[in-house]
Chain A
Amino acid sequence: MSNQVLNVNIKKKLKEFDLDVAFEIKNGCLGILGASGCGKSMTLKSIAGIINPDEGKITLINNGEITFYDSYSKINMKPQVRNVGYLFQNYALFPNMTVEENIAVGLSKNNGDNTVNDLIKRFRLDGLEKRYPKQLSGGQQQRVALARILAYEPDVILLDEPFSAMDTFLKEQLRLELANVLKEFDGISILVTHDRDEAFQLCDELLILDKGKIIAKGLTYNIFENPDNVRVARLTGCKNISEIEIIDDYHLKSKDWDVIFKVNEKLSSEITHIGIRAHDFEACVEGEVNSFEVKNYEKLEMPFEWELTLDNGLWWKIDKRIKDHEFVVPKYLKVNPKNIILLKS
């Protein structure tokens, strides 16, 4: 495996906020997770050279250091020579060219080991060579776009919301395909998404962006397990978040749900909220630690889980089988103290 490092440190004034990000990636896939319009795509486009940041520096170490962009020494490499592949949200296949011709565009610059035929086989596009993009399904279009990028043999692959235009069924299948492509790819990749499942499944490391600023970065597992603050918790899909009143070192009262909880970690004044994942409640009997009474609720049946909204505002999700349609809601629920996430505001 080659040793590459991509270093990004850029600033750009935008209409609603200022983009200001700095991060470093070694081999592997980095996910950038954030709500729409938080500056994710802007960051990717700056790395590709499609737009220019106002100031900063972008370098890639790959058998020596290449400076893509440096506002201080006025370096700005053209996108044509950065050798960065970009998978657009809508794939941006050339509608006037066939599948073959689209893939061949990627080949024309680098005469490497790839041939159009190899790529057609690898991406299971046999028989579709002469078709135009409009005659392909969404999944096939994505495969052509990936084949075209890999034909180019890029050092870095940037993926801009690759599944946003797809239905759920296709999405799950393609996520697996993309996971394999990224695993085989010997270089750096960055995936931008607003979907936490995508980020969790595809990325080794994660960066969470909010209004142009990085609010969390680290290993994907760590960020999902210990979100640290309210915004990160929300973006990683934590349904239940409440402001708290600290009672003593290990006890607190949630203001929104009116329940007293015991926690395992010592509380400090920095902690202003707690989060509880919707899957982390368990049925119990009266009087157990962190238990509370279930009074009124609304029950919603999904194919594989029950979704309950309790009258104090809590969300509870519990797995079920497809054929089960009956569910007796327990009188009491509890949360294991280790599952209560302490959050800063």
Chain B
Amino acid sequence: MDWTPILISMKTASVSILITFFLGLIIAWIIIKLKNNTLKIILDGIFTLPIVLPPTVVGFFLLYIFGIRGPIGSFFIEFFAVKIAFSWEATVIAAVVMSFPLMYRSARGAFEQVDSNLLDAGRTLGMSEWKIFWKVLFANALPGVISGGILAYARGLGEFGATAMIAGNIAGQTRTLPMAVYSEVAAGNMGDAFNYVIFIVIIAFIAIFIMDYISIHNEKKWR
């Protein structure tokens, strides 16, 4: 059995969750603080779109932007001589874009549950906005934020459609686990596909387990 899909997938999912997690938190905080409701709705729509659209459509847009003729793709080729499309980095881009809405929406929901008086109390006690964000908002929204993070991680791990469009299915480079399952089935190797499937199911189950464990544990502590 070829182990590279497992390694590639773990690497892609780990790097992309780091990006998604912090980006999701910050964007959620920015959106909540926005006073202009129209702008809020428009931005929320854009940030949520990837989970509503078919993944191949998202992949199409990504290819359009990051492809060699796309605005960002051509820029990277010209200035850094780096080709983004069909590279390993492209799997990360696809995973980040597809998992971002889950993180952003969970974080926003969790933030909105936090009593806004707590934030104002922090302000009248002289806490800086940065401190309020981490020590009050983030700390009190933690269970929701973490479950969002885990969902986003699982979503990134399972990403298929957009990855196929922008990163392709190059063995040893961009062939992630879901890609490998598809390829093995297409080649008639049901046995190998089955091994990959088992692996994905185990990881998904662990993710759900951690999520539930954290929420129960937190319940006991101070809720």
Question: Is B124 touching A95 in the complex (CB atoms < 8 A)?
Answer: no
A332 at the B interface (CB under 8 A): no
| B115 interface residue per 8 A CB criterion | yes
Tell which of A49, A89, A96, A105 touches B125, judged by Cβ atoms closer than 8 Å. A105
A152 touches B121 (CB 8 A): no
Contacts of B38 in A (CB 8 A): none
A152–B124 Cα gap in the complex (Å)?
Answer: 9
> Which range holds the interface residue count of chain B?
20 to 34
Is B120 in contact with A79, judged by CB distance below 8 angstroms?
yes
> Interface-forming stretch among A4-12, A80-88, A186-194, A239-247?
A80-88
Return chain A residues, CB-CB under 8 Å to B48.
Answer: none
Name the one of A79, A82, A94 contacting B118, with C-beta atoms under 8 angstroms.
A94
Contacts of A35 in B (CB 8 A): none
A84: chain B residues at CB < 8 Å are 124
For B21-61 the 0/1 string (1 means CB < 8 A from A) is 00000000000000000000000000000000000000000
Residues in B with CB closer than 8 Å to A50 are: 120, 123-124
Chain A residues lying within 8 Å of B136, measured Cβ to Cβ, are: 94, 96
Measured CB to CB, the nearest residue on chain B to A131 is B222
Task: Decide yes or no whether A33 CB sits under 8 A from chain B.
Answer: no
Q: Cβ of A106 < 8 Å from any Cβ of B?
A: yes
Q: Cβ of B120 and Cβ of A94 under 8 Å apart?
A: no
Question: Are A152 and B125 closer than 8 Å at their CB atoms?
Answer: yes
Q: Which residues of B contact A73 (CB under 8 A)?
A: none
Check if B223 sits within 8 Å of A92, measured CB to CB.
no
Contacts of B120 in A (CB 8 A): 45, 48, 50, 79, 86, 88, 92
A80–B140 touching, CB < 8 Å: no
**Which of chain B's residues 104-128 have a Cβ closer than 8 Å to chain A?**
115, 117-118, 120-128
Closest to B126 in A: A109
Find A86's partner among B121, B128, B221 (CB 8 Å cutoff): B121
User: How far is the CB of A51 from the nearest CB of chain B, in Å?
Assistant: 9
Q: How far is the CA of A132 from the CA of B222 in the complex (A)?
A: 6
Known A94-B136, A109-B126: A134·B222 in contact at CB below 8 Å? yes
Q: How far is the CA of A88 from the CA of B116 in the complex (A)?
A: 11
Determine whether the beta carbon of A80 is less than 8 Å from that of B223.
Answer: no
In the complex, are the beta carbons of A48 and B127 less than 8 A apart?
no
- The yes or no answer to A108 lying at the interface (CB within 8 A) is yes
> By the criterion CB–CB under 8 Å, are A80 and B117 in contact?
no
Picked from A85, A89, A94, the residue with its CB within 8 Å of the CB of B124 is A85
A95 touches B123 (CB 8 A): no
Does A78 make an interface contact (CB < 8 A)? yes
| CB proximity of B122 to chain A, nearest CB, Å | 7
A80 and chain B: residue at smallest CB distance: B126
Q: How far is the CA of A95 from the CA of B117 in the complex (A)?
A: 12
Residues of B near A95 (CB, < 8 A) are 118, 140, 222-223
Report chain B residues within 8 Å CB of A81. 126
- Interfacial chain A residues near B222, Cβ < 8 Å: 95-96, 132-134
Chain B residue nearest to A84 in the complex (CB): B124
Known pairs A83-B126, A92-B118; list 20 more (Cβ under 8 Å).
A48-B124, A78-B123, A80-B123, A80-B126, A80-B127, A82-B124, A86-B121, A88-B121, A90-B117, A92-B117, A92-B121, A93-B121, A94-B139, A94-B140, A96-B136, A105-B122, A105-B125, A108-B126, A109-B125, A110-B126
Binding site for B on A (CB under 8 A): 45, 48-50, 78-86, 88-90, 92-96, 105-106, 108-110, 132-134, 148-149, 152
What are 10 A-B contacts defined by CB distance under 8 Å? A78-B123, A81-B126, A86-B120, A86-B124, A94-B140, A95-B118, A105-B125, A108-B126, A148-B125, A149-B125
In order of increasing CB-CB distance, the 7 nearest A-B pairs are A109-B126, A92-B121, A132-B222, A92-B117, A79-B123, A86-B124, A96-B139
